[in-house]
A and B are shown apart, each in its own frame.
Chain A
């Protein structure tokens, strides 16, 4: 084929790839098709130019094709939504930036608002922020996502009710000061409210599996960005205090009391914006991060299981130990969830999938050990709020991990595709939010606010 034809095809490919729902791999696939078609037409006697025109025509309208791709790959749809389709990208991106900035300012203002209204947070102890921090900032984040997704009136109503219920429960329930149900509610509320953020993120289409998977991806990437911003912010704050200190001005109180909370709240929104606007950056980073941490966690879990099994004493069923167990299992479940969501679907089964399987198997073993210890404790001392919360979480994780493990096993052995595993992961998502909501709303009632 001539030089001209290659240039024409390259131009066509770059035009196709300017349509955001069609990604690099898709363009390669379509280009291979185009070249096959042209080759055959040229063999049939057409000139390369004619063949190119016919082949392009047969491929169909690129706009229609792009819409089809967007429908199938809704995970790529954000590129349309955030940056706007077609030519006016920079304009739309600029508008998106200012909206993000506005929401970030709102988040920063809101976080210190209770004090501006004269609420004596000090008298209420630290428990005011412990209970309400997520209630202050998550609505702003959900509002930002709802704006980006153009959530309808019904969806906005759901969000409002969700946050209002949370606010009522944690602030109007007559908790015993420092009681376990209050602490449990404070820990579980952010999880329950994160469900509302997810609801906003998927534009109210919470039944959509791909939507939920995207939300998992979003959560992981948002977290990475947030940590990066926090690290940078920490360096900046340290330097600021140091520089002012060297000239004899003590700004640590102002910086610590005002700048840090503003920055931390605003960064929630900035991170959400970055996830969407700079998708390409993190898309290549996420698989790397999961491949680094999956083997490390797998190793750590296997070692823990071995130590727990051979230490003789089993698990001492100390409360702290059990809490660490739960935290560890939550982290592992999150890592697995994120690793699956970030996995390149076209990649072949590899050693990393086997390592994931080891990770899950070790986590299940650890979960069972913890569960045994917990049951012993409960049969000895009866149900307390803490133990019940830990037990419930353990059981939920046991079920999700076991089923994920079976699907992963099927995948590694080549019996299943990744589809069932992904679907299972997304099915389990609302369960986490529902369980957290139960702990927040139901536990205080059941355990009479102790």
Chain B
């Protein structure tokens, strides 16, 4: 299934913030988590995650630091800030409203479409 560019872009911020709210992470792992959460149906162009992360950092929603794990290579880890959590909470409410409205609309559609077909 291909998901439209606009929808991917709109959902990117809350998705990344929510993943970082689980635990600190770095770019590659965040993308893996996105893929996991969406059963690989939500596909991003890998590189585009980084400008997004940098924007979130500038807005003060996340903080970044280079870390070198005992085993493995140097990676830039991102951590969500209090401000980021507040934004995430707000976006969650917004998405709930959108999702509820859509859900209502699907229900209404079924109610009218089904009798017409019957």
Contacts and interface: CB of A to CB of B under 8 A. Distances in A.
Interface of A: 25-26, 28-30, 32-33, 35-37, 58-60, 62, 64-65, 68-69, 71-73, 210, 345-346, 348, 415-420
Contacts of A35: 73
A407 B66 CA distance: 24
B23 to A, nearest CB: 17
A37 B65 CA distance: 21
Secondary structure at the A interface, as helix, strand, loop or mixed, is: helix
A60 B28 contact: no
A30 B81 contact: no
B31 to A, nearest CB: 8
A29 B76 contact: yes
B57 A345 contact: yes
Interface residues of B, number: 27
B47 A32 contact: no
B47 A71 contact: no
Contacts of A417: 57, 60-61, 63, 81, 83
Interface string B15-51: 0000000000011100000000000000001111011
Given A32-B76, A416-B60, A60 B26 contact: no
29 contacts: A25-B76, A29-B50, A29-B75, A30-B47, A32-B26, A32-B27, A32-B28, A32-B73, A33-B46, A33-B47, A37-B46, A59-B46, A60-B45, A60-B46, A62-B47, A64-B45, A65-B48, A69-B50, A69-B54, A71-B51, A72-B54, A210-B58, A345-B57, A416-B60, A416-B81, A416-B82, A417-B57, A417-B60, A418-B60
Contact of B65 (A30, A71, A348, A418): A348
A10 to B, nearest CB: 14
Interface in B63-106: 63-66, 73-76, 81-83
B55 interface: yes
Nearest to A29: B76
B8 interface: no
A26 B60 CA distance: 18
A286 B16 CA distance: 33
Given A59-B47, A60-B45, A33 B60 contact: no
Contacts of A415: 82
A32 B65 CA distance: 14
A62 B45 CA distance: 11
Contacts of B55: 72
Nearest to B60: A419
B28 A73 contact: no
A28 B74 contact: yes
A36 B57 contact: no
State the 6 A-B residue pairs at the shortest beta-carbon distance, nearest first.
A419-B60, A60-B45, A417-B60, A68-B51, A36-B28, A65-B47
Contact of A58 (B46, B54, B66, B75): B46
Given A65-B48, A420-B60, 14 more contacts: A28-B76, A29-B75, A60-B45, A69-B54, A72-B54, A72-B58, A416-B60, A416-B81, A417-B60, A417-B61, A417-B63, A417-B81, A417-B83, A419-B58
A360 B101 CA distance: 50
Contacts of B51: 65, 68-69, 71-72
A62 B46 CA distance: 11
Interface centre among B47, B51, B60 (most CB of A within 10 A): B47
B50 A26 contact: yes
A30 B83 contact: no
B50 A32 contact: no
A33 B73 CA distance: 10
Contacts of A60: 45-48
